[in-house]
């Protein structure tokens, strides 16, 4: 993609960011070119490409048609759960998206309005996102695994004029009726959307009618076309809620211009894929990976994207991924390590893989959680192509650390996502803000300005944005992750330093789960921690103290807690284990020692803080963890005897 080698390109992106990104901005189509690369807003925050006018839907569809590619495939829908495959050309996509956009326009949705999308993995989810982008409406996609309560929280924060949903999703063993969940969420929310556009999948799910309902197909059929509405580069394209350290999810804002420029760059520079080739991100449109690489990055760059409605296993078996790759000639693929662990467990020798011609696959990317060496090496050996771990977040919107395939690749070091991506001046800082030495673990930060495509702010909460990301280390964006850089400049991400956990590549907040657990009847207090899990990376564990004077049975209370988390947050939380204890370990000031609990549950070394109130509680906890099978009965707790004076 470039005659520059990575070190030169990287240096240039850091030393002359405005020049570097203006050059990249030349590669997308603007209705009006930006007047400046970077400006500063009234809150002192960076804005990219002010003055530029464009439309993200135009870039994803119309632009390719204008270049004569209208009859090429833009999207492949592959659904093992409904046994359907359908391909859409750019012309067909335009027809679908433009009619839906016009339909939304007739419902009164205009530029700057918000629209919540709660959809399964069907093409209409992509059409809905692009239709919003076409008319300058700001979408907020909510992952289908979240329960009505979570949907209601997002409705109240985003205040959508309309919701777009479908009658149902399909999980491995059941149909999930979405419409009743949307109705439930609307009954719970204070803000009431005017319309709910429902795509009827005709799969037999219950579909209660409500006054606000509009039938998707009728709306699309009745509508003509609408031209893309020019928006400012700095206008929001979408809001995506993600878990933070409190019970309230954070609405990450993505702008239009910086996002398009950065994603377009990343497709060739990071993923090494050429326009016209098939790119598959096996994620869900409810997550950032889905936004960036099922929808926007692939389409803007002119790649055929795959929307896959299924799981790596059991739909129907562990060969599904390999079938999709060979059947659709996927050149570059992206999934989470969990998916590979699930496949490896079912097919350790890769026998199912051998049935398919995978010779077209060039690179396999992994992200979303830490990639363990065993998974990396297994996949490298089985596929015989570069397997590339890379690190990023909802906040960044595109990779921050990767082995950039658009430049001469670096040798892979297992455990490392390789080097900072161009644009990210990444550092490891100590608690006091000084820079860590090579191999010394610390906080992963990025020197401001962040490159285009990264979050410019939080929806409706600039204070939380500044406090949460920019204040702890002045001059830097704080990622919330810990890690270190080795003597060769390779970055190793060791995990979150806050209460965010990562379950099967899904980012969840333990604080949010604690709110639900502690308000369950008969619970006096609790801690929810993430513990290591062979398949999902981490799973939540609730450690609970029963309210005194109650005689509830442990199994009954556990079942109530598990059900409450499922009902309030959703099945995606995967809280399946509750451990009832007499007391929780705390400091003298009453702070629960979650880090110590985590270390004990994971069999890791720990040091008791000198501020611990009653060290005897630790022995009680170890005994309970053994009884519950959380740690083996032979485990002793890896306590380092000396009590830290820090």
Instruction: Report how far residue 169's alpha carbon sits from residue 201's, in angstroms, rounded to the nearest whole number.
Output: 9
Parallel, antiparallel or unpaired: strands 195-199 and 162-166: parallel
Pick 145 or 451: Cβ nearer ligand COA: 145
Scan for tokens 């059947």, then name that residue: 327
Distances (CA, A) of 70 to 64, 89, 302: 7, 6, 11
424 makes contact with ligand COA (CB under 6 A): no
Residue 5 CB, shortest distance to ligand COA, in Å, is 29
Binding window for ligand AMP (CB under 6 A); candidates: 57-65, 68-76, 363-371, 631-639: 363-371
Instruction: Report how far residue 125's alpha carbon sits from residue 93's, in angstroms, rounded to the nearest whole number.
Output: 12
145 makes contact with ligand COA (CB under 6 A): yes
Instruction: Report how far residue 320's alpha carbon sits from residue 316's, in angstroms, rounded to the nearest whole number.
Output: 7
Q: Which of 51, 247, 276, 571 binds ligand COA (CB under 6 A)?
A: 571
205 makes contact with ligand AMP (CB under 6 A): no
Closest CA to 536 of 510, 502, 508: 502
**339 binds, options ligand COA, ligand AMP, none, Cβ within 5 to 8 A by partner type:** ligand COA
Binding window for ligand COA (CB under 6 A); candidates: 75-83, 124-132, 282-290, 512-520: 282-290
Residues near 101 by Cβ (< 8 Å), separated by ≥ 6?
57, 130, 131, 132, 134, 135, 226
What does the DSSP 8-state code read for residue 107? Answer: T
Q: Which of 9, 130, 367, 630 binds ligand AMP (CB under 6 A)?
A: 367
Q: Which of 311, 362, 427, 595 binds ligand COA (CB under 6 A)?
A: 311
* Element (DSSP H or E) covering residue 326: helix 320-328
Q: Which of 176, 203, 436, 524 binds ligand COA (CB under 6 A)?
A: 176
- Ramachandran assignment for 423, one of left (phi > 0), alpha (psi -120 to 50 degrees), beta (any other): left
**336 binds, options ligand COA, ligand AMP, none, Cβ within 5 to 8 A by partner type:** ligand COA
The footprint of ligand AMP on residues 437-496 (CB under 6 A) is: 479-481, 493, 496
389 makes contact with ligand AMP (CB under 6 A): yes
Q: Which of 284, 369, 425, 499 binds ligand AMP (CB under 6 A)?
A: 369
Closest CA to 128 of 176, 59, 179, 198: 198
The footprint of ligand COA on residues 339-378 (CB under 6 A) is: 339, 342, 368
Instruction: Report how far residue 200's alpha carbon sits from residue 197's, in angstroms, rounded to the nearest whole number.
Output: 10
Collapsing DSSP states into helix, strand and coil, what is residue 498?
coil
Residue 396 CB, shortest distance to ligand AMP, in Å, is 8
Binding window for ligand COA (CB under 6 A); candidates: 106-114, 331-339, 353-361, 494-502: 331-339
DSSP 360-406: T--EEEE-SS---HHHHHHHHHHH-S-EEE-B--TTTSS-SEE--TT
502 makes contact with ligand AMP (CB under 6 A): yes
Binding site for ligand COA (CB under 6 A): 144-145, 169, 171, 176, 282-283, 287, 289, 311-313, 335-336, 338-339, 342, 368, 504-506, 535, 571-572, 574
Binding site for ligand AMP (CB under 6 A): 242, 288, 367-371, 389-391, 393-394, 417, 479-481, 493, 496, 502, 507
């Amino acid at each position: 993609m470039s005659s520059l080698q990575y070190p030169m390109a990287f240096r240039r992106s850091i030393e002359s960011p405005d020049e570097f990104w203006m050059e990249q901005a030349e590669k997308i189509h603007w209705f009006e070119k930006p007047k400046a690369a970077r400006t500063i807003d009234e809150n002192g925050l960076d804005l990219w490409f002010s003055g530029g006018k464009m439309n993200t839907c135009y870039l994803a569809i119309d632009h390719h048609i204008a270049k004569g590619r209208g009859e090429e495939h833009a999207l492949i829908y592959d659904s093992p759960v409904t046994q359907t495959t359908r391909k859409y050309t750019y012309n067909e996509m335009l027809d679908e998206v433009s009619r839906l956009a016009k339909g939304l326009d007739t419902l009164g949705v205009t530029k700057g309005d918000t629209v919540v999308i709660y959809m399964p993995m069907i093409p209409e989810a992509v059409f809905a996102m692009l239709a919003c982008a076409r008319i300058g409406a700001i979408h907020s996609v909510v992952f289908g695994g979240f329960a009505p309560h979570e949907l209601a929280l997002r409705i109240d924060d985003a205040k959508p004029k309309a919701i777009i949903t479908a009658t149902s999703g399909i999980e491995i063993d059941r149909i999930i009726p979405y419409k009743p969940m949307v109705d439930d969420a609307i009954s719970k929310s204070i803000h009431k959307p005017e319309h709910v556009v429902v795509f009827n999948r005709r799969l037999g799910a219950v579909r209660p009618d409500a006054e606000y309902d509009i039938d998707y197909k009728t709306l699309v059929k009745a509508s003509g076309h609408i031209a893309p509405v020019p928006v400012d580069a700095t206008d929001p394209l979408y809001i995506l809620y993600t878990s933070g350290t409190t019970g309230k999810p954070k609405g990450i804002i993505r702008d239009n211009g910086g996002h398009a420029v950065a994603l377009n760059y990343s497709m060739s520079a990071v993923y090494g894929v050429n326009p016209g080739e098939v790119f598959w991100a096996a994620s869900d449109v409810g997550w950032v990976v889905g936004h960036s690489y099922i929808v926007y990055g692939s389409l803007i760059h002119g790649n055929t994207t795959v929307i896959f409605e299924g799981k790596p296993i059991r739909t129907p078996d562990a060969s599904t991924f390999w079938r999709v790759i060979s059947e659709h000639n996927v050149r570059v693929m992206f999934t989470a390590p969990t998916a590979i662990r699930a496949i490896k467990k079912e097919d350790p020798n890769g026998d199912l893989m051998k049935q398919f011609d995978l010779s077209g696959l060039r690179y396999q990317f992994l992200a979303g959680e830490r990639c363990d060496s065993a998974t990396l090496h297994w996949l490298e050996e089985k596929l015989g192509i570069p397997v590339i771990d890379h690190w990023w977040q909802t906040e960044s919107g595109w990779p921050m650390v990767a082995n950039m395939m658009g430049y001469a690749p670096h040798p892979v070091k297992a455990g490392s996502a390789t080097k900072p991506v161009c644009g990210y001046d990444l550092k490891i800082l100590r608690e006091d803000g000084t820079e860590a030495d090579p191999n010394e673990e610390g906080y992963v930060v990025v020197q401001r300005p962040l490159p285009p495509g990264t979050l410019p702010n939080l929806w409706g909460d600039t204070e939380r944005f500044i406090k949460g990301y920019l204040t702890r280390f002045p001059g830097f964006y704080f990622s919330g992750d810990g890690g270190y850089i080795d003597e060769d400049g390779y970055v190793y991400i060791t995990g979150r330093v806050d209460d965010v956990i990562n379950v099967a590549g899904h980012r969840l907040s333990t604080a949010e789960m604690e709110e639900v657990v502690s308000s369950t009847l008969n619970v006096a207090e609790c801690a929810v921690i993430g513990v290591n899990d062979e398949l999902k990376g981490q799973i939540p564990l609730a450690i609970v103290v029963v309210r005194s004077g109650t005689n509830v049975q442990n199994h009954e209370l556990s079942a109530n807690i598990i059900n409450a988390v499922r009902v309030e947050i959703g099945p995606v939380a995967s809280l399946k284990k509750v451990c009832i204890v007499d007391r929780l370990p705390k400091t003298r000031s009453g702070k629960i020692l979650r880090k110590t609990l985590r270390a004990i549950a994971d069999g890791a070394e720990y040091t008791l803080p000198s501020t611990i109130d009653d060290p005897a509680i630790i022995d009680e906890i170890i005994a309970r963890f053994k009884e519950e099978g959380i740690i083996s009965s032979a485990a002793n707790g890896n306590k380092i005897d000396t009590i830290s004076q820090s």
